[in-house]
Amino acid sequence: MAEMRLPRYRSYFVNDPKLINLVLKERPSDFPKSELISASLASLLGRGVFVSNGALWESQRRIIDPAFEGGRLRHSFHAIQQAALDATTRITPNQIVDVEAQSSLIAADIIFRTLFSIPISNQIAADTYRDFKTYQRVQPLMNLGVLLGMRRIIPWVQSRKAKKAGRAIRHHLRHLTDLRRQQIEKNTAPDDLATKIMTTPDPETGACFSPEDMVDQVAIFFLAGHETSASALSWALYLLALDPECQERVYAEVSKAATGDRLEFSELSNLAYTRNVFKETLRLYPPVPMMVRETSAPEILRERAVKVGSQVVLSPWHLHRHERLWDRPDEFDPDRWDNAETKRCARDAYMPFSNGPRVCPGAGFAMIEGVVLLYWLVKTFEIQQADDVPPIPVAHLTVRSKDGIRLRFIPRR
């Protein structure tokens, strides 16, 4: 644990599995989401599930979670597969491809298809995506400055631009949710995530999301579900390009995984090695590099007195590369996921989707998405490094590369 003493508060960087379990699993309500982080996201997320706490958050999860249950994921699977197929036709073969930009587009396409049954080529989807890119550029969300108590390092003009982009995104999303509400009333709504979430009442109170609540939630699905998946896909493709032997094993697996032209949901179980590649990518490059909580009461952490309102920073990045917990932590080794020792270690030291009650509701969805995308991309292309310059990971909202990731996609036949 490291302590940072700042003029206005203290920040504690915690990397001990016992303490992480305390914060995320044993006493999560004593360590709510940090107000500092929530405030910087308010213009986009309103009171959405990512930033809310207490009874409001509990009710939101009771409505959202059923949409992501195992059985429902079958519905999303077909939309994900269609987006993956379209992606294979969009990538320019044999040329240098900026993989992060491509992955971002693919992941945004998947979110629109699974939430609203529209592809990214739809005008509102394209406008939302454009404004979202502006928002990301001007709003360095997980900015270290926030944690270090230097909020003013975000210039005023920049934060005004972020607010404007946040409002524009919400305007598009409101339009989409209004349209969907009308379709639900007329019984013509498609059976997708938006319909499921808008028509599910909280089993305890009987209340459904109001139109404004729904905009808050859709904004977070878009933010949390698209940036993260895009980051994971970019790093997975980079790791495969670095390791041709591993890539050939994935290719061998995908070549015999499906009996027909398309992959069936039930055939996902034939892709165990591809899944291991994705899991190992999430270990080495966890898309959410850190999570921030706040103490709601005085605490003693590793024999240190911690005051109310202190920031507690948890870092999947550091935990996943902890030398005392992992064997060869910096090595890319998908096979490690087949041994019992890794599985035991992962219980306490692997949290790409967080842990405890606030665990990512989209985790199951994201694992299917990652495997399906690797299935189609590796089946269609041999992925090669385009230059020898290794990408430098940096923590933005998600783990991105400082100067991009450039790869070549060579058609297999």
Our CB check for ligand HEM shows the closer of 313 and 408 to be: 313
| d(C-alpha 412, C-alpha 35), whole Å | 50
Distance CA 242, CA 355 (A): 30
Q: Is 21 in the site for ligand HEM (CB under 6 A)?
A: no
Residue 201 main-chain phi, psi, to 5 deg:
-85, 155
Q: Is 209 in the site for ligand HEM (CB under 6 A)?
A: no
Q: What's the CA angle centered on 126, arms 124 and 129, to 5 degrees?
A: 110
Range in contact with ligand HEM (rule: CB under 6 A) among 128-136, 166-174, 203-211, 362-370? 362-370
Tell me whether residue 172 or residue 358 sits nearer to ligand HEM (CB atom): 358
Burial of 331 (0-12, 13-18, 19+ CB in 10 A): exposed
* Structure tokens, 231: 């980051």
Q: Which of residues 291-330 bind ligand HEM (CB under 6 A)?
A: 291
Nearest residue to ligand HEM, scored by beta-carbon proximity: 362
Task: Number of residues interacting with ligand HEM: please give it, by CB under 6 A.
Answer: 22
Name the residue with tokens 């890539």: 247
- Decide whether 3 or 65 has the Cβ nearer to ligand HEM: 65
| Binding residue for ligand HEM, selected from 12, 31, 50, 375, defined by CB under 6 A | 50
Instruction: Mark the segment that binds ligand HEM (CB under 6 A) among 143-151, 227-235, 266-274, 388-396.
Output: 227-235
| Position among 46, 140, 166, 287 found at the interface with ligand HEM (CB under 6 A) | 287
Q: Which tokens hold the place of 367? A: 């694992």
Q: Give the tokens for residue 201.
A: 């009442």
Q: Mark the segment that binds ligand HEM (CB under 6 A) among 131-139, 200-208, 224-232, 234-242.
A: 224-232
DSSP three-state, residue 33: strand
Measured distance CA(187)–CA(174) in Å, rounded: 20
Closest residue by Cα to residue 240 from 232, 250, 230, 231: 250
> What is the DSSP code string of 181-246?
HHHHHTT---SSHHHHHHHPPPTTT-PPPPHHHHHHHHHHHHHHHHHHHHHHHHHHHHHHHH-HHH
Rounded to a whole number of angstroms, the minimum distance from the CB of residue 5 to ligand HEM is 23
Residues numbered 329-358 forming contacts with ligand HEM, rule: CB under 6 A: 352-354, 358
Q: Which C-beta is closer to ligand HEM: that of 366 or that of 408?
A: 366
Q: Which residues bind ligand HEM (CB under 6 A)?
A: 49-50, 61, 220-221, 224-225, 228-229, 232, 287-288, 291, 352-354, 358, 360-362, 365-366
